[in-house]
C-alpha cells in the first residue's frame, strides 16, 4: 500500500491500481450550491468565476498527474461552507 496524507484530504491511498481519496464529510455539493443561488438569485458573477477557476485549477492538477475522473459533475463535487 502507498499512503500519503495531504490537506484538505485526510488520506490518499493507492492500492492495486485504484486511488482512494478519504476526506472529511462535507454537507453540500456544487449542485446544491448552484441550485440554491439560482432559486434565490444571490449569485454574483465574481462568485461564479471563483468557483469555475477553482474547478479548472484542480482539473489541471489532475491532468498533470495523469489522473482521470469519469464522473465529474456538480453532484459529485463536494464543497464546504465557505463556497
Is pTM, for the whole model, over 0.75?
A: no
Return the pLDDT at 76: 80
Which pLDDT score is estimated for 51?
A: 83
DSSP E strand boundaries for the chain: 2-4, 9-15, 18-23, 28-29, 78-79
pLDDT given for residue 38 in this prediction: 77
* pLDDT, one tens digit for every residue, the chain (83 residues): 565 555 555 677 888 888 777 777 777 888 888 888 778 777 777 888 888 898 888 888 888 878 777 778 888 887 776 66
Cα 34 from Cα 61, distance rounded (Å): 24
79 closest CA partner among 43, 32, 29, 40: 29
Amino acid at each position: 500500500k502507498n499512503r500519503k496524507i495531504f490537506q484538505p484530504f485526510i488520506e490518499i491511498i493507492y492500492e492495486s491500481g485504484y486511488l482512494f481519496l478519504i476526506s472529511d464529510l462535507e454537507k453540500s455539493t456544487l449542485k446544491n450550491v448552484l441550485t440554491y443561488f439560482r432559486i434565490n438569485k444571490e449569485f454574483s458573477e465574481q462568485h461564479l468565476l471563483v468557483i469555475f477557476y477553482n474547478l479548472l485549477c484542480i482539473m489541471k492538477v489532475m491532468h498533470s498527474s495523469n489522473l482521470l475522473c469519469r464522473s465529474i459533475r456538480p453532484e459529485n463535487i463536494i464543497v464546504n461552507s465557505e463556497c
